[in-house]
A and B are shown apart, each in its own frame.
Chain A
Amino acid sequence: MRAKAVKSIREFPIRVFSFLVIKGLKCIVKLPDAALIKIIGWAAAYSKKRNHGNKPTPLMEVSEMLIKDPNMTKMIRRFLLDSRESQFFSIVKGMIKHHALAEDKSFEIYLPGISHKKISVDSRQICVGLVGDGFDARMLHKAYEENENCRCSIFTEEQIGGVQKIAAIADGLEITRRLRTAESLVSSALEQGVAVSIHHSAIESPDMLQRLINQAEHTRTSLRIFYPYFYYPPIQKAKELLADDMIGEVTTIHIRATIGGKGGSLEPEIPDPEKYFDHPAFDHFILLAFFGGAFEKAVSYLNRMDPKYGGQGLVDCKFEYPGRYGLLECSFAPEMYIRSDHYPYDLDVEIAGTDGILWLQRGMAKRVQSPPITIRAGKQYCAFGVGSGLREDWEESYKNAADHFADMVRGNCRRVMQNKDIFSALELKAKIFDVAQSSKAVNL
């Protein structure tokens, strides 16, 4: 927090100066042609004096062009006045931060990573009722068992369905997979004041989510959508770095998810040839929205995933945020070896911004052993890995998730994503096969 505040104070003059530069430029280009040409001429003369290279400076070139063709003033005006304000601001700020004030060399920095948060035991242990039997259920169960603040009991859908009063057996209910009776179970728990965590894959539609949110608000009980990637330290770190303006304003987000055929300690689950976005390795609409916000429209090409030969799909989207685009690339490569302590599911994220690029090359698998996060911004290269104390094991996601839920049960609700963005992700997922079938861009 303190480092953040210091950084923010240090950057304040840059922000103010950038704002003034933009306002100044916009005022100057509004001047009549003759005055504009004159001012650029003066600036060019000044830059010529300071120019020690062989080539003319951009200002000298602009001035020369204006002398030859005074109509160029129209282009300069359009260039500066019709530009997107936030983008322009981000670029000017980045130029000052990364170039005017930066040292003229590349270097590596290591910053502190995310520490594993521990809740102080201020009351009795929280009792979590866990429903489900898949991979996430096992991982969450282990995380709760290892958490000194929690106890965890596993129930089948039928068992929990038969319980008269859920509140009598659990403080929180964790639903870890799609269930036939998920909605009624959640509804019943919320009604009894039992906090609920429901796996994102159990949310069948945006409408279902809306009903559950309404009920949570009505009963004033905590509800969370569980998506393990929210809690994975490198992803949390990436989100934090974006919020800290490390790469400027985000313009493109690319997520590549690949299911390998071997290399994991667990055999990969073969994606459904036709409906593969239910597969945990591919269901990354939420991750896309986590980084980019709500979607405005989408197009897609989806091929069938052949169990033997593999397959692929591309989801291309325009975010609501102006000038921001995303691509979710899914590939099933049955002959590919992807080293993993769990399933061989590779995740590779590239986020480009006006100042640089952030790469995240880790998830459940460890296909490559370079740092989980690397950044190139301005002239800098930064890596976040072992040197920064950043945890990269997939289990960490579940430990953090267990902490988070325990916090929620105690009434300390930390929001990790806006409702609107989650709805948008669910809507895109629900419509994705229609989007792929459509020859038109589909509005969301």
Chain B
Amino acid sequence: MGLQKENLKVGMIGIGDITSLHYKAYQNFEHAELAAICDLNDQWLQQRSKEWGISKCYKDYKELLKDPEIDIVEVNTPHDVHKMIVVDALDAGKHVACQKPISTTIADAEAMIEASKRNPGRFRVLENFVFYPPYRKAKELMDSGEIGEPLTVRFKLGNGIFGSRWVPLKSEIWHLMETDRGMGQAVFDDGYHKLSMAIFLVGEIESVKGFIDRSFSYADLPAQLIWRYKDKRTLGSFDIALQTNLFTRSKYFGADERIEIVGTKGIINLTRCTGQIVDDPPLILYKEGQRYLFDDIEADWQASFTAGIRDFPIAIKENRETLLTGQRALDILKFAYALIITAKIGVEMKPADITDDMVREYLLK
């Protein structure tokens, strides 16, 4: 299992665009190293092998799982095949870090959680936003009572197509077509990050209401979604705008992501993450009539990947639970489906009550 090892060895299954950010996180990292890669695409495999200097390359993930040197398996494949690989990897005695979203069905997610319970390896589902330094700082400020009790938390997302195009169009189209499979890029896929943050910042979700439109047949936006937290007075909202022509500066995706948290004493504004549309510092705290600008804070999106990916090997070594457990990922999955279903049928939904039958009944028929 490698718990005592100095340097844990990582095998990466699925080496698409996003994994170039994962790769960077393993560079100059003392606790783990990327030792093997696996992908069905031969050309891609050769390219990455050369680019990253990885000699161990597999086409069949089962071969990678047989490699005794590998301690951690990163699963970065399309989400509907996560279950098969994650369960096999856990059963093979590996620690598993899976890319969000955990799966497309609740049954698959539960099967992965179950597999992690019966095996010694740890399982987590990576969602990088909760490791983004300005967001971590905001959470710290909230926890230390700087803005008092949070009254509302608002997430804003708008995708501009000018300013950045980091991923190939093919990948964008694949995401857009998820809408026809009951999911959708804005709420289910990209939205996963915001929903994860919604839980990270405040807590469990009690119920949801709202609207999701459909633009250009495939895009699940604009949308306006609201929720109530469980056992807390805070209310949350997620506002997704169609702002196609807004130039959004980014090295990654042209996503305008902003968060506003209004508390009884003050307000926190987070103005950046993947993209940037205003020349404000990433974090602004308003308190007692003053604005405190947090300029000296790492705000590059890569930092969230670096911190998020590195947290897993460290957690393994420290024998502690990771922040993003399988159960947390399942909660986010249900939250996302609750939002999509409530928008589709116009009835309030409770994420805890969501089942695969409901997803089939309301979204796939």
Contacts and interface: CB of A to CB of B under 8 A. Distances in A.
Given A314-B226, A325-B222, A355 B245 contact: yes
Contact of A252 (B241, B244, B291, B346): B241
23 contacts: A61-B168, A83-B216, A83-B217, A87-B215, A99-B247, A251-B242, A251-B243, A252-B224, A263-B289, A300-B226, A301-B228, A310-B264, A327-B224, A329-B154, A329-B262, A336-B267, A354-B243, A356-B245, A357-B241, A357-B243, A357-B256, A379-B162, A439-B347
Contact of B233 (A312, A353, A355): A312
B213 interface: yes
A62 B228 contact: no
Contact of A440 (B148, B156, B241, B346): B346
Interface string B159-184: 00010010011100100010000000
Q: Rank and list the top 7 A-B pairs by shortest CB-CB distance, nearest first.
A: A352-B241, A94-B245, A325-B224, A299-B209, A441-B346, A61-B169, A439-B348
A334 B239 contact: no
Given A367-B286, A376-B278, A378-B245, 5 more contacts: A75-B177, A83-B216, A303-B233, A325-B223, A354-B242
A368 interface: yes
Contact of B265 (A55, A256, A311, A336): A336
A66 B240 CA distance: 30
A98 B245 contact: yes
Interface string A162-202: 00000000000000000000000000000000000000000
Interface string B273-296: 000011100000011110100000
B245 A91 contact: yes
Contact of B243 (A88, A311, A352): A352
A357 B235 contact: no
B239 A356 contact: no
A333 B162 contact: no
A245 B293 CA distance: 33
Interface residues of A, number: 74
A21 B173 CA distance: 22
Contact of B222 (A297, A301, A323, A367): A323
Q: Which of B209, B228, B260, B279 lies at the interface centre, i.e. has the most chain A CB atoms within 10 A of its CB?
A: B209
B149 interface: yes
A56 to B, nearest CB: 8
B347 to A, nearest CB: 5
B113 interface: no
B243 A329 contact: no
A94 B244 contact: yes
A248 interface: yes
Contact of B246 (A327, A378, A439): A378
Nearest to A312: B151
A331 B162 contact: no
Interface string A370-387: 000000111101000000
A314 B207 CA distance: 13
Contacts of B170: 61, 65
Given A324-B222, A356-B245, A333 B237 contact: no
A325 B210 CA distance: 10
Contacts of A80: 216
A389 to B, nearest CB: 24
A254 interface: yes
A337 B263 contact: no
A354 B241 CA distance: 8
A78 B217 contact: yes
A316 B237 contact: yes
A339 interface: yes
A331 B169 contact: no
Interface string B343-358: 0001110000000000
A82 B239 contact: no
Contacts of B263: 333, 336
Interface in A262-304: 263, 297, 299-301, 303
B19 interface: no
A324 B245 CA distance: 17
Contacts of B266: 336
B225 interface: yes
A401 to B, nearest CB: 29
A98 B234 CA distance: 39
A75 B264 contact: no
A301 B177 contact: no
B152 interface: yes
A248 B225 CA distance: 23
Given A65-B170, A309-B149, A378-B245, A303 B235 contact: yes
Q: Which of B173, B246, B256, B279 lies at the interface centre, i.e. has the most chain A CB atoms within 10 A of its CB?
A: B246
A256 B211 CA distance: 19
A311 B232 CA distance: 11
Contacts of A79: 216-218
A333 B225 contact: no
Contacts of B154: 254, 256, 329
A367 B289 CA distance: 7
A313 interface: yes
A335 B286 CA distance: 12
